[in-house]
Amino acid sequence: MSTTVAPAPATRKTPPLEDHVIVIFGATGDLAKRKLFPGLFHLFAAGLMPEEFRIIGSGRNAPGDDDDFRELVREALEEFGRRDVREEIWEPFAKRLSFTASSAGDGEELAAAVRRAEQAIGHATRRLLYLSVPPSAMKPMVRMLGATGLVAGARLIMEKPFGTDLASARELNAVLREVVEEDQIFRIDHFLGKEAAQNILAFRFANGLFEPAWNRNHISHVQIDVPETLTVEGRANFYEGTGAFRDMVVTHLFQLLGFVALEPPVRLTPKALHQEKAKVFDAMRPLRRDKVILGQYEGYRGEQGVDPDSQVETFAAIEVKLDTWRWEGVPFLLRTGKAMAEGRRSITIGFKEPPLRMFADDGDFAHCQRPNELVFELADTPRITVDVRAKVPGPALELGAAPLTLDFADAFKEGNGLEAYERLVLDVMRGDHTLFTSSQEIERLWEISDPLLQDPPAIRTYRRGSWGPDEAIALAGKRGWRLPEAEPC
């Protein structure tokens, strides 16, 4: 006996969703299997999908008939999903799944399938088109959507990369403008969908304790650090044409920098936030080659599909400065890399030391180089930590270091945590652009990056399992990078 999962009750903050027909291009690809179908299934099980919806998978090669496609989706849920696939939830979800083949040159059959799905729902619906396709297919696919009328009134989700340099980004945006309006486009960056990334805004603007100190008078540095233990692992063809700087820095890390550094908006609306983030990017100084370290892990050139003489970087560390009153003189240190010592995703706000030491005999603290730090861990189960100094219990006035940690799973037991793709797809169905990037932002970031990409510094080799080239370690100065295993100073 099948049941229908009732949508969660609408509130002032979560208005009811319009009924949807969702088309996923690249529906048999890795992203769809790992993230999109498990995410949609979790939203459905949690009552966060529209009352009526259809999901149409699409691509050049059909996996068989609709039942074969449903079996493919179920296998993806069982392998990558984060909840059990119970029959009473799976059955009504599966009935809403189908597959129709399409290509950049032929979308008429898909357009007919979408119209049939809309007619089956029986009243006005919203279209959501998710383009999970290779960069080379993006422009012809967009033109196909325009030619078939599929994009009429639709919301369009686009996966990065949004170009590979300024010229290609502008060309892609020009093609998009031929077919859709800017407010129909949702350029997705899953880093911005993480709870901890959004908590940068909440922690800062909702707490009078932190906003007054969020400036150069109190903050010594900011680190945005995303090392990975994984190698390219079968993605060499993609990586050889992209590299760490294009793949991670221009997109994810710069966007996180924008969230950390923006001025308080007049109100918390998507338009106001994008305006303030754009001002941050306008204020970024040209990147200095001597403050950019590019590296390649030992053995990368031996990976299958890699050029034996490859000069593609698998590591990037850079210092960014902003020409604003708030951030004058504060270095923003960004780092990412493959095959590194540990995997983590964190943003560290380093605070300045007190101007006068009041404790004459404070042991190791007298020579300590690390300040108090506020750390946002961008994990699926987010945490925020503040490193503080306090008196150690006992007869002597002895200082010790300890973390104050906010674990969201413990603090908000009734919360309904969503993974990044789940939250972002839900935001698209709501028409909320807050966590998505605009064409203006994309083009400005490529404008900043192009001179470096045209004349990059020499690639330095680093050991697998290390923290990158020595020059990158030195980039952080005497205070160093905050490392996962390090004790607060």
Dihedral, CA atoms, 28, 174, 442, 148, nearest 10 degrees? -30
Q: Is 194 annotated as a binding residue?
A: yes
Active-site residue, from 252, 274, 367, 433:
252
Backbone torsion region of residue 122, taken as left when φ is above 0, otherwise alpha when ψ lies between -120 and 50, otherwise beta? left
Q: Is 247 annotated as a binding residue?
A: yes
CA distance 178 to 136: 18
Q: Is 31 annotated as a binding residue?
A: yes
Active-site residue, 367 included = no
- Signed CA dihedral, 261, 190, 202, 385: sign only: negative
The answer to whether the CB of 376 falls within 8 A of the CB of 200 is yes
Q: Copy the structure tokens of residue 470.
A: 């020595």
Alpha helices (H) along 149-230: 166-179, 195-205
Residue whose pair of structure tokens reads 């006035």 in the numeric block: 397
Q: With H, G, I as helix, E, B as strand and everything else as coil, classify residue 72.
A: helix
Q: Is 26 annotated as a binding residue?
A: yes
Q: Is 263 annotated as a binding residue?
A: no
H-run or E-run covering 75: helix 66-80
Q: Is 33 annotated as a binding residue?
A: yes
Q: Is 60 annotated as a binding residue?
A: yes
Q: Is 32 annotated as a binding residue?
A: yes
Q: Copy the structure tokens of residue 13.
A: 């903050």
The answer to whether the CB of 330 falls within 8 A of the CB of 219 is yes
The answer to whether the CB of 173 falls within 8 A of the CB of 442 is yes
Residue closest to 227 by CA, chosen among 310, 300, 295: 295
Q: Is 13 annotated as a binding residue?
A: no
- Signed CA dihedral, 143, 144, 145, 146: sign only: positive
Residue 194: Cβ-neighbour burial (10 angstroms; 0-12, 13-18, 19+): buried
Active site residues: 252
Annotated binding site for substrate: 190, 194, 228, 247, 338
Annotated binding site for NADP(+): 26-33, 60, 160
Annotated binding site: 26-33, 60, 160, 190, 194, 228, 247, 338
